[in-house]
Amino acid sequence: MSRYVINNSPEFTGQLLSGVTEQIRRELPTMISIMEREYPPRSDYQLDSLGNKKKRYSIYTGSGGNLYFYYNLYTKYSSEYKSCLEEAIIANLNSCQSNRNTTLGFLTGRSGIYAITAAASKTIKYVEDLCRDENLIPESENELLNGLAGYIYSIIFIIDRWSDVPLREDLIALLNRTVDELVRRGNNYGMLKYEWPIGRGKYYLGGAHGSIGVIMMLLQSRKYLQNHYDHVIRDTLRYLLSLRFPSGNFPSSEGKTRDDLVHFCHGATGAVPMLCQAFLAFQDQNYLDAAIRAGNVIWERGLIKKGKGVCHGISGNGYAFLSLYKATLDNLWLYRAQCFADKMLNDQNLNREIENYEDSQRLVTGMPDRPFSLMEGLAGNILFYLDLLNPQEAKFPAYEI
């Protein structure tokens, strides 16, 4: 069974889809109201598709996603969401401080909660709390979702969003130590390769769990680093490009032979923003060419039946187009992002395919397991629509700084 719906969108002829941006402007308030009603900003739990509630402050699929969501609404859309942001801060701080933390990632550890709270409130205590989590590094995974790469994102998030943070030099020193440790762990004859989980013996490549996500964090850290690791970054990029399928897509792990995954977590979608960052850092056309090839894969196979989410869905694939638009300023990529939004909002056939898609891992057929979450559900969809209104400032959630 095909994983995607054939994309019948017209090819770009120079005209953007102004209609879809107007539709987004009209419908955003209603979508945000649904979020507020179904998953209130004060929530301190993860809500699944069966209605079950579980205490979990994860930004990925838990209540921390509300914090990220309302932070973005407040800073990008309207100051009227300040009270929602404040409610989400209180709920998630209480939740993460009353639970034992064992992971470092921005998306699943408390460092993400501290980073957003510090940036939003300009309160130094939460910077100090984030710095104290350095003691978790020895037992941490390496990848973006749960590990050191995600901790790096948390550190850069504060430095970037709070430019005059009082502990700036301490944060930069912590960033350098964390990057040094991450490179040391992954350095395999001059290339960065990471098992996930550690000790399993399987080397992942994608944005969430593998080398692509790690390289993305190193590239975004680069201006703060004493050792840029440019040689090891470029050797790793050369290795990753050598593993591509003939289509231009990327395997999920070493040795994977099926060219079937077009997601952020596995495949072209996570690679595109990283390759755009590499192009901007090194001005090497090979990286942009690879990003464009991967973008063409997403255009062909990115209307995936798994759903509309950021991590493994259509809005994440649309964000890859926005990364290409920012790197090239070519309206082709903005048009393609608009087409995916139009499909999400208006294509009844696509919506039927999603609703009927059988996935043995799902709690309910055709629904994300956490339907209002940031990386699987409505919160991420809304942020994609919002970023289409100001595409040059778009940020792939929890991935682009």
Residues that constitute the known binding site for Zn(2+): 265, 311-312
User: Do 275 and 291 touch, CB atoms closer than 8 A?
Assistant: yes
CA atoms within 13 A on the CB side of 196: 27
Cα 10 from Cα 32, distance rounded (Å): 30
Residue by residue, what is the 3-state secondary structure of the chain? Answer: CCCECCCCCCCCCCCCCHHHHHHHHHHHHHHHHHHHHHCCCCCCCEECCCCCEECCCCCCCCCHHHHHHHHHHHHHCCHHHHHHHHHHHHHHHHHHHCCCCCCCCCCCCHHHHHHHHHHHHCCHHHHHHHHHHHHHHHHCCCCCCCCHHHHHHHHHHHHHHCCCCCCHHHHHHHHHHHHHHHHHHHEECCEECEECCCCCCCEECCCCCCHHHHHHHHHHHHHHCCCCCHHHHHHHHHHHHHCCCCCCCCCCECCCCCCCCECCCCEHHHHHHHHHHHHHHHCCHHHHHHHHHHHHHHHHHCCECCCCCCCCCHHHHHHHHHHHHHHHCCHHHHHHHHHHHHHHHHCHHHHHHHHHCCCCCCCCCCCCCCCCCCCCCHHHHHHHHHHHCCHHHCCCCCCCC
Place of tokens 């289509």: 247
Binding-site residue numbers are 265, 311-312
Cis peptide before 391 (omega within 30 of 0): no
For the stretch 205-242, what's the b/e string if a residue is b when 16 or more beta carbons lie within 10 angstroms of its beta carbon? bbbbbbbbbbbbbbbbbeebeeebbeebbbbbbebbbe
